[in-house]
Structure 1
């Protein structure tokens, strides 16, 4: 009887872990580093499970390079999923950065297209110039993040 009880516990534990992995994936548990996001439909498939069980940091590390200014199209942007930052270039030479965590339910935004930062989970849209809500269900803007541009590199401030 003890072996049967252990077997059932193992099955329940395994099923529970699988459900957790699916939940994390649905809400932005991706491990993609960066994704160009200048056109609609440019989102890459998300991974099916997190790579480690260590908790993710919601705050980016200061001083690190995010990418090249050439990778961020004018009027578009790029989502850096690992750092949870989206960098936009509303006008030529003007770079803005915002949290890539949607203020509606915490999903990671998926792309930047047609002047908005777009969340794939529930359809929220945010302006590329100021992170303001351009379409719900989100009610709060994306928080601005501090970046600097050094030469052709976008750096975390």
Structure 2
């Protein structure tokens, strides 16, 4: 074997090893979820957390809390179910996932007529979950709730 053939063989070997290494690294960076992009399979803003599938339907029939816990013109947090329930007007209840759509911080309070995130100051509407003050640009994830007797339950 002459020197030129040896150099070519070494180059081919190194190129092959490099290609296998690159494929391995890229595979390790991938995601095993069906969305593939890590953002829930959408072209969402990468600075905002992806929403989990099924968040809009909830667990069906799960008791969130008592009607008396949710003041008219305000709301209440239910950390055990990661929910915030509001009652903008008497008898009108709205449920939302208690996670800010800006960077995934937990909702901190419901006061001053808004649902509030303490991480970066986002505020959301009691009746729609729409952002009233940024930096959040997307509404809170709505979760349908109903009243059964004196209990608020996921629909």
TM-score by length of 1: 0.61
Q: Distance in 2 between matches of 1:62 and 1:71?
A: 20
Aligned to 2:70: 72
Structure 1 segment 76-115 matched on structure 2, within 5 A: 76-115=74-113
Higher Cα Rg: structure 1 or 2?
A: 2
Query: Deviations along 1:48-84, whole A, 9 cap, x unmatched?
Result: xxxxxxxxxx955321111110110001101111211
- 1:37 is aligned to none
- Give secondary structure in 1 for the equivalent of 2:81: coil
Stretch deviating more after TM superposition (121-130 or 78-87): 78-87
Select which of 134, 137, 143 maps to 2:135: 137
- In the aligned structure 2, how far is the partner of 1:85 from the partner of 1:93? 18
Between 1:60-69 and 1:93-102, the stretch displaced more is 60-69
Give the corresponding residue for 2:19. none
Unpaired segments ≥5 residues, structure 2: 1-53
> Gapped runs of 5+ residues in structure 1?
1-57
Task: For 1:87 and 1:139, locate their aligned partners in 2 and report how far apart those are by CA, in whole Å.
Answer: 20
CA distance in 1, matches of 2:135, 2:83: 20
> How many equivalent residue pairs?
101
TM-score of the superposition, structure 2-length normalised?
Answer: 0.62
Alignment RMSD (CA, Å): 1.6
Q: Which runs of 4+ in 1 moved over 4 A?
A: none
Please give the alpha-carbon distance, in whole angstroms, between the structure 2 residues aligned to 1:64 and 1:140.
26
Aligned to 1:116: 114
1:7-86 matches, within 5 Å, as 59=55, 60-86=58-84
